[in-house]
Amino acid sequence: MKLTILRLTALSEQDRIDLGKIWPDTDPAELILNETHRLYAARFNDRLLGAVQVIRRGDRAQLAALCVREVTRRRGVGQYLLEETLRDNADIRGWHMEKRGTGDAAAMDAFMQALGFVNDENGWEKVREA
């Protein structure tokens, strides 16, 4: 089966279980899913391996809680997830992700910069040309 990136608009029971493994400190029932608050996930063999939240505000968006399950890291899942999330939101010109809560700071910094984000004092920023 192929790795698929999808925008979740409703959560199945299995999605809730998988999100609990990705974000153990978050109750999936409390996630807001609408046009402003989006949730993207990487699915493989009917299981979610990683996820990221997107909060849209006009032509800017905030990435939050980007995480790939520990056993699946360093295999390109996070990169594919982020690339497809940005592609699906092509109208967004400015992206930001805070450093707070991202785990290994050095690894995350290298990951974000490899994807074209620039390090700033609060996180990472990416601006697309119009």
| 5 or 73, which is more confident | 5
Domain containing 94 equals 4-127
pLDDT of residue 118: 93
What is the CATH classification number for the domain harbouring 27? 3.40.630.30
Q: Which is nearest to 8 in space by CA: 72, 68, 59, 51?
A: 51
Cα separation, 75 vs 51, in Å, equals: 15
Give the number of domains in the chain.
Answer: 1
pLDDT of residue 33: 96
Say how many Å lie between the first and final Cα of the chain, rounded: 36
pLDDT of residue 122: 84
Whether the Cβ atoms of residue 42 and residue 4 lie closer than 8 Å to each other? yes
CB atoms within 10 A of CB 85: 25
pLDDT of residue 49: 96
39-97: pLDDT as tens digits: 999 999 999 999 999 999 999 999 999 999 877 777 889 999 999 999 999 999 999 99
Single pTM value for the model: 0.91
